[in-house]
Structures are given as structure tokens and as C-alpha cells.
Structure 1
Amino acid sequence: MQTHTRGHLVYAAGGVLAVHTEHGTSIVPADRVSWTPAGFTHHHRAHGDTDMRIVFLPPSLARLMPDRPAVFLASGLAREVLLALTGPRDHDDAAPGHSRSARSRLLRVLVDELHEAHEQPLHLPEPQDDRLRGIARLLYENPGDNSSLAELGKTVGAGTRTLSRLFRDELGMTFYEWRTQLRVYHALVLLAEGHDTTRTAYACGWANPSGFIAAFTGIIGTTPGRYRNGRRTAPRASRPPAAAKPQG
């Protein structure tokens, strides 16, 4: 665990990153950028063959970013600026070939690009209520668990109505939306580790691969097969769709 006096961007040029803070977990697949504000205790975890780039922002630019962790889709220009700022498989303190003024201009371009980008639904909030924490712990350990909310509620001593209200009030989403996002995050890890679409679908709790493909595409913006093969998706002009309800 660590914390910084400057907010920073983490870019996954390849592979999958997880950025953990006290507020939850941001999953950063290839060509996404994670933002962590100054002062947030956090740690990173890489899955698969990951190429991680880190860029710290001065306060004058950090104030233009959200005051909470967030994930953005990197435009082609943002991607090239990030690579230019960091150099090959490095972070920005060692980036060669840029004067201070040139670097400032590049950072401004980068923040402008992210400011125009849509946030990605890739931040999974961390429950604070003990009952929700109990459910989260069970599903983190076994994302393929298809128990209903009522069944899970019996293990934590709470009814369906109470738990549904807690998910809405505390996490801003339904239980099924939260579980779908958790499963898609786990799927990203499995795909990064080389598992195929069918095996990943069943491991994450879907009754069939087609349901998994629909949910994955709704959140990530491309199919699992294309993602696994490293095909990049173009930035979309429309808002990303809400998480799909898992099948099974």
C-alpha cells in the first residue's frame, strides 16, 4: 500500500491492471487509463503480461480531474501522449527527450483528452456495511457462485429487501449489476492469463458463452475474443451502457 502527494494516471499499454483503494477496485484493461487522486492509499496488481505506465499530474491539472478514482478509455491521441511521456516500459520521472515546457504541454493535452472522454464503468465500489462486505467476500472468492440474493442473505443474516436497499443506497447499483461487474473483472484476469472465452464464461458463472459475451461487450466495449486477441476498440461517442444482468 502507498500514497502520493500528487494524483496520478496509470495506463495499461498491455495486459490488465487492478488499482485497489479504500473506495473500491478499478480494473484497467488495455487502452484504459486509471486516475487516482492525491492522498488515496492504494496498491496496484498486474495480471498477465502487463505494460504499466504511470504519469503524475501537477495540482493545476489534477484539479480538472475527478476527486475520486475513475477509469477512462484512452483515445488514440491520449495513448500516444502517454507513451511519449513515459518512454519504453517506464514511468514519467525517467521519460527522456522532453523539456519542462514541452512536458507541460503534453500533460495539458492528455488531461484535455481525458476530460472529453467518457468514464468507463470499471470501478467496483467497496461495500462498507458488514452484511454487504460478507456477500462481497463470498463472491470475490467464487465469482461463479449463482446463489440468489436471498440465499446469500441467509449467510449474512439479512433479508432481500434490506440488502437490495443497501446496494442501491451505498453502492449506487443493484446487486445484479454489481455482481456482473465483479464477474467481468474476473473474466478480464482470466483472459489475460490465457483462458479462452468458453472456459472463462463458465468460471465466472454464466450458463452459456453468449450471455457472457453480451455482458462483457456491454461493459468493455468489445467481445472477449477480440479483447483476448489484442484488438483495440475505438473511443465511442455515446455513453457506455449499464452493466447487463448475468445469466444463470
Structure 2
Amino acid sequence: MLTGPTIRPLGHRERIEWHDHAVHQLVHPLRGVLQVHTGRGVWIVPPNRAVWLPAEVPHAHQANGPTEMRSLIFGVTTAAVLTEPTVLVVGPLLREVIRTLSEDRDLTAGHRHHLEQVALHQLRRAEALPLMLPAPSDPRLVALCDLLAADPADQRSLHELGRQVGAAERTLSRLFRAETGFTFPQWRAQLRLHHALSLLTAGRPVTRVAVDCGFRSPSAFIEAFRALFGTTPGRYLHS
């Protein structure tokens, strides 16, 4: 049971299995990349982001690369920042508040309360980002998504993939919109960027990542990466 801020180092591919908390939790990887799984899908959380997890939402974590996971907790009587799991931008002030609250065990109760209020104020102003890969439930769609997760560079069309999973292109297109809120091209692009972040964290060169994730060129990959993560792959690797 969580009773206060935590620091937890995680090795590459190390998992924290499914659990939930009676309190709201903010999870921030100071380094490395976290995949956060819930019943709705998978969130990708790089170091300049954090994920808000409302109380009693079952979730699991997996590290991509050596990761240092920081977390803060907020009681259920606290006005929730959000009612759904959400990835948020972490600015310099919020990052330092998270660092101080998780590291400094000698803070007075008054000082700790003040910093927690600063954190909540920053979180309510933070930009929410579409870094979630929704999880479908229809067996045909699950099979198709598993195929692409195993090989994000797969260039087959929805029609060709449909023949393998036993569903018509029109049916799959409708299911993608209904179950994920994305079109098929949008969902596949999101999957490829999730996979790219994991490969970059493992030290793979940008040009190699672009090929391995199925982008038509390194420049196309860089542009898509910047649009979603707010920085280029090169700057991300440097940081």
C-alpha cells in the first residue's frame, strides 16, 4: 500500500504487475521510459512526461531501458486532477517539486503540504497528451493488433491483414473507430511511435529505428516523433 512518495529503479523490461491503489498516483520516470497498462490500453511515458492514475484504477508498469520511477500520492479527498489515466507534460517546476518530494525525507509537514499544493496546481495547468494506444476487445481486431505489435514495420494494408484474421476491410475499419477511437492508419502510427521510443531508449540509431518501425524515411519518422513527443529523436537521445 502506498503511503507516500516513492523512488523505484527498474531494469530494462522489468515489470510491476497488475495492482491498484486507494489513492491517486502521479508516476514520473526521471529517466528511462515507462509503459503503463490499464484496461483501456497502454500509455507511453518518457522522462519529460508523467501519468496521472486515479484511485482504484488497476494498472501495471513496464520499463524500457534502465528507468527510475518516481511517484507522488494524493488522497481521495483531494479534488482529482483528472478522472481517467492521462499523460501530462512535466515542466521544470513540476519536475523539481516531484524530485524534492520524493527525495527529501526531512521536509516538515507544512513544507510538504505546500509543495503538494504546488504540484496539484501545476498538474491542473499541464497539457494532456494523446500518448495512449487503445486496446481493442473484438477477437479479430486483437489478432490484427498482435500481428502489428510483433512487427510494427509490417506494410500490409488493412485489406491484406483482414484476410489473415478472417474479417473484411470495412468491418475492421468500423471496429477500429468504435473500439479505439482511431482510424486504422492513426492506430498503426501510434503503435510505431510507441515502439520507436522503446528502440531509441535501447540505443538504436535514429535511421535504424525509422526502418524498423516502418516509416517511409528518416525525415518522416522525425516529423511524426516531434509531433507526438515534442522533440526530435536526436534531442531525445541526447537528453
- TM-score of the aligned structures, taking structure 1 as reference length: 0.86
- Give ranges in structure 2 of 5+ residues lacking alignment: 1-17
CA distance in 2, matches of 1:18, 1:99: 33
- Encode CA deviations 1:43-74: one digit per residue, 9 max, x unaligned: 1111112121011111133x422221110010
In the aligned structure 1, how far is the partner of 2:141 from the partner of 2:110?
48
Report the CA distance between 1:134 and its aligned residue.
1.1
Distance 1:41 1:59 in 2: 16
Mapped to 2, the partners of 1:52 and 1:194 lie a distance apart of 20
Match of 1:140 in 2: 149
Dislocated runs of 4+, deviation >3 Å: none
Task: Supply the AA of the counterpart residue of 2:161.
Answer: L
How far apart, CA to CA, are the structure 2 residues paired with 1:128 and 1:68?
Answer: 19
1:125 paired with 2:142, answer no
Q: 1:86 aligns with which of 99, 102, 105?
A: 102
Q: Deviations over 1:133-179 (max 9, x none)?
A: 11111111111111111111112222222211211122111111111
User: Residue 47 of structure 2 aligns to a residue in which SS?
Assistant: coil
- Name 1:191's counterpart in structure 2: 200
Q: Percent same amino acid among aligned pairs?
A: 44
1:192 Cα deviation from its structure 2 partner: 0.5
Aligned equivalent of 2:3: none
Give the aligned partner of residue 179 of structure 1: 188
Distance 1:103 1:139 in 2: 46
Matched, 1:23 2:40: yes
The equivalent of 1:151 in structure 2 is: 160
The answer to whether residue 52 in structure 2 is matched with residue 35 in structure 1 is yes
Report whether the alignment pairs 1:114 with 2:123. yes
* Partner residue in 1 for 2:19: 2
Verify the 8 A CA contact 2:196 2:209 in the aligned structure 1. Answer: yes
* Residue 208 (1) aligns with residue 224 (2): no
| Aligned residue-pair number | 222
Name the one with the larger strand percent.
2
**Using the alignment, how far apart are the partners of 1:29 and 1:123 within structure 2?**
12
Indicate conservation of the 8 Å contact 2:54/2:80, yes or no. no
Shift of residue 193, structure 1, vs aligned partner: 0.6
1:98 aligns with 2:115: no
Alpha-carbon distance, 1:86 to partner? 0.6
Q: Secondary structure at the match of 1:60?
A: coil
Residue of structure 1 equivalent to 2:63 = 46
Shift of 1:32: 0.4
What's the CA shift for 1:101? 2.6
**Equivalent residues of 2:22, 2:76 under 8 A apart:** no
1:68 aligned onto 2:84? yes
- For each residue in 1:178-225, what CA deviation from the matched residue of structure 2 results, as whole angstroms up to 9, or x when unmatched? 111111111111101101100101110112111111111110111111
Provide the secondary structure at the position in 1 that maps to 2:35.
strand
Kindly state the Cα deviation for residue 38 of structure 1 after the two structures are TM-superposed.
1.4
Matched residue, 1:90: none
Distance 2:139 2:22 in 1: 31
Q: Give distance in 2, aligned partners of 1:42 and 1:203.
A: 29
Q: Distance in 1 between matches of 2:110 and 2:162?
A: 57
